[in-house]
Chain A
Amino acid sequence: MPCKSLCRTTVSPLYPRWSNTVYRAAICLLVLMLASPIVLPMLYVRSTYNTNQFVPWAQPIDFDHRHHVRDDGIECLYCHGSAERSANAGVPATSVCMGCHTQIWNQSPLLEVVRRSYFSGTPINWKRVHQVPDFVYFNHSVHVARGIDCVTCHGDVGAMARVEQVQPLTMGWCLDCHRRSQGTSPPRPPALPAPTNSWSASVGMFAKPVAHDRDVTLLTTCTACHR
C-alpha cells in the first residue's frame, strides 16, 4: 500500500526544468529584500533630501542677500545682531527693515509687505531655512565669540538670491567640527573684523588639535548640546 504512493512520483515531473533558475533568482531576491531595510534608510538619512540642503525657499518677500550684502556691503550682524548676544541669531524685526526703507525705496511695491507689517503691527511670516531639532541647544553667541564665522555653517549667503541650507546640520557634521577644532579656537582677535559674509577665518585657521586642552572633551560631551 505505501508502494502506491512511491510509484506516484514517476507519473509526471512536479517542476519544469526552468524552475531551478526561478528558484535561485527567488533566493537572491530574498537576500536583497532582507538587506534593503537596513541599507536604504542609512542612505536616506544621509541624502540632501532628508537634510533639506540646497533648497532655495521662496519667502513672503523676495529679499535678495546678494544685493544687501554684496552691493550695499551690509554685514550679517547689522540685521542678525542677536547672534552676538543670544543663542538665537534671529530674523530682524520689521522695524529694522524700515530703518532704511523709510528713507530709500519707501515707495517700492516690492516692500509693500514690509510696510503693511510695520503699520498694521502684524509680523512677517518668514519661511524657516536652517533648523536643528529642539533637543539641540545651539548657541550662536559663543560660536561667534570663539571666531566661528557665519559662512562656516550658513555658506556664502551673500551669494544667494534665495537663502538655502548648504551644510547638512546633522549631529555627525556638528561633531566633526567640535572634534577638529578641539575647542581651542581663541576668542576673535581684535585685529580681525567682526564676522561678515566676506570674513572667513573660520575653524580651519584655528584648528590646532591640542589633546590636553581643557576644552577638548567639554566640547564633545553630550550636554554641550543636549540638556
Chain B
Amino acid sequence: MSSRLLIGRPSDAELGEQLLGTTWRPGGRGWRIAFLITGGLTVLLISLITYTIGTGIGVWGTMIPVAWAFAIINFVWWIGIGHAGTFISAILYLFEQGWRTSINRLAEAMTLFAVLQAAIFPVLHLGRPWFAYWLFPYPSQMEVWPQVKSALPWDAAAVSTYFTVSLLFWYLGLIPDLASLRDHAPTRRRRFIYGLFAFGWNGKATTWRHYRAGYLLLAGLATPLVLSVHSVVSSDFAIALVPGWHSTIFPPYFVAGAIFSGFAMVLTLLIPVRAVFKLHNVITEKHLENCAKLTLVTGLIVAYGYILEWFLAWYSGETAEWYEVWVARPTGPGLVLFYLAMSCNVLVPQLFWWKRARTKVWLLWPLSLLINLGMWSERFMIIVQSLEREYLPSMWGDYLPTWVDLGILLGTLGFFTFLFLLFLRLVPIISLSEMRDMKHEIVHRERGHG
C-alpha cells in the first residue's frame, strides 16, 4: 500500500467536505443538458420497448437462421461490463488491494446499472414476453417445470442473483456514508431523506464490527458470482452445436472478456468523473494504471481465446466449424465487425505495455472506448456471424439490423448514463468511510517509519 494512492494528507473534515460535497454542490448548466439528453434517450428506449412488445419482434432484424441478434449481443455486452464492479469491490477486497478503495463504489454503481440494462433483454427478446415467468421454477397448476438442461433458466437465476447480491453489497457499503450525509447535508429535508436510507446507522464500535463482518460475508458471496454469471451466460452458446458456439473454452473466455470490457468501461467513466469533480488527489494515476494493467492481462486471455478458437476449428476437422471460423468470419457478411473485434481486443490492449498509455488520460480514455466497441463487435461476431453460416448452405442468410435494433442499443446507453449521472449527484462517488481508514493507515505507517 503506497502513498501514491492519496496525494496530500487532508484532514477527515476536508476529506468529508470534498467527497460528500458532490451531493449538495449545485450542478451547472452542463448537468442539466446531460440529464436532458440521456433522459431523452431513456424515453426513446421505453417507447421502442413498447413498440416491440406491441407489434412483435418482427420489427427487429432477427430472422431464420439468425434468430438471435442485437438483443442477445446487448445482453451479453452489458452483463459483461457489469463484471468489473464486483471484481473490484469483492475480489480486490478479499485480496486487500488498497487501490480499490477510491473506485469501488463507482465501479459497483456501474455494475448495477449495466446489469439493469442487460436484464431488459432476456425478457424483451422473447416472442411472448408476458410468459417470461415460466422460466422460473414454481408449482404451476399445469404441473410443468422449467427444463434444467437448458441454459436459459440458469441465466434467469444467475442474472437475478447477481443483481440482488451486487445491490446489497453496494448498498451495505453505502450505509456509513449515507449516515454521514444524514449528519452533514446542508438542508433538513436532505438530512431526513438520507436518514431514511441510513437505516439509523450509529458509528458505534459494535456496529462497525457487525458491519465489517457482513461486508466480508457479502464479498465472499459476490466473488464466485463474478465467475459464475458469465460462465452461465457463455453456456447459452457453448451447449449449442452451432459452429462457432460449440466450444468448451467459452466460460473462461467469456469471463475474461467480461472483466476486460468491465475495466474498459470503468476507465471510460472514471476519467471524466475524476476531471469534473477534481478528484485527482484521491483518484491518482496509480489507479488508472492498475485498471489499465488488468485490462492488459484480461485482454491477453481474450486473445488466447481467439487463438484457441482458430486452432480448434482447424484441429476438430469439422467442415462447418472450420468454414465458420476461417472463412465466414473474416470474409463473410459483417466482416467489418470481425476486424473491429480483432484489432480492438487484441492489438489495442498491447499498447498498455507502454507506461504512457496506461497513465496519460488523453490516450487511455479513447483506448478504453475502443475496447468497449471491440467487445460489442466480438459478441456480434460470435452470435450473428456464427448463425449466418451454419451447416446447410441452403439456409444461409445475411443479417441486417433495423432502426429499432439500433434505437434500443442507443436507448440502453442513454438509460445507463442517465442512471450514472443520478448516482453522481445523489450519493458520494467515493466511499468516505473507507477513504478515512485508508488515510489513517497511510499516515500511521508514515509516522511509524518516520
Contact = CB atoms under 8 A, between A and B. Distances in A.
Whether chain A touches chain B in the assembled complex (some CB pair under 8 Å)? yes
B184 A45 contact: no
Interface string A42-54: 1001100000000
A20 B200 contact: yes
B183 A9 contact: yes
A170 B182 contact: no
B139 A15 contact: no
B183 A6 contact: yes
A170 B138 CA distance: 17
A45 B141 contact: yes
A161 B182 CA distance: 70
Contact of B141 (A9, A15, A171): A171
Cβ-closest 5 pairs across A and B:
A2-B13, A171-B142, A172-B143, A5-B184, A9-B183
Contacts of B17: 1-2
Given A14-B192, A15-B195, A172 B142 contact: yes
Given A2-B17, A15-B195, A20-B200, A42 B142 contact: no
Interface in A42-72: 42, 45-46
A104 interface: no
Main secondary structure of the interface of A (DSSP, over half): helix
Contacts of A175: 143
Contacts, number: 40
B186 interface: yes
Contacts of B139: 42
Contact of A14 (B16, B141, B144, B195): B195
Nearest to B196: A23
Contacts of A45: 141
B192 A172 contact: no
Interface in B376-431: none
Contacts of A5: 183-184, 186
A14 B139 CA distance: 46
Contacts of B14: 2
Nearest to A26: B196
A200 to B, nearest CB: 26
B436 interface: no
A31 interface: no
Contacts of A191: none
A3 B16 CA distance: 11
Contacts of A42: 138-139, 141
Contact of A2 (B16, B143, B192, B200): B16
B191 interface: yes
Contacts of A170: 141-142
A30 interface: no
Given A2-B16, A5-B186, A15-B195, A46 B141 contact: yes
Given A15-B200, A170-B141, 8 more contacts: A2-B17, A5-B183, A5-B184, A14-B195, A42-B138, A170-B142, A171-B142, A171-B144
B227 to A, nearest CB: 28
Contacts of B200: 15, 20, 23
Interface string B170-183: 00000000000011
Interface residues of B, number: 19
Interface in A1-45: 1-3, 5-6, 9, 14-15, 20, 23, 38, 42, 45
A38 B138 contact: yes
Nearest to B194: A14
A172 B195 contact: no
Contacts of B143: 171-172, 175
Contacts of A46: 141
Interface string B1-36: 000000000000110110000000000000000000
Interface in B125-179: 138-139, 141-144
B138, B141, B188 interface centre (most CB from chain A within 10 Å): B141
Contacts of A6: 13, 183-184
A6 B191 CA distance: 12
A59 to B, nearest CB: 29
A175 B143 CA distance: 8
Contacts of A3: 13
A38 B137 CA distance: 12
19 contacts: A1-B17, A2-B13, A2-B16, A2-B17, A2-B184, A3-B13, A5-B183, A5-B186, A6-B183, A6-B184, A14-B182, A38-B138, A42-B138, A45-B141, A170-B141, A170-B142, A171-B143, A172-B141, A172-B143
A54 to B, nearest CB: 18
B436 to A, nearest CB: 13
Interface in B187-203: 188, 191-192, 195, 200
A2 B185 CA distance: 11
Contacts of B184: 2, 5-6
Nearest to A11: B188
A124 to B, nearest CB: 34
B176 to A, nearest CB: 15
A46 B195 CA distance: 43
A19 B191 CA distance: 15
Nearest to B142: A171
A145 B253 CA distance: 60
B191 to A, nearest CB: 6
Contacts of A171: 141-144
B131 to A, nearest CB: 13
Nearest to B16: A2
Nearest to B17: A2
Nearest to B192: A14
Interface string B238-254: 00000000000000000
A20 B202 CA distance: 13
Contacts of B16: 2
A15 B188 CA distance: 11
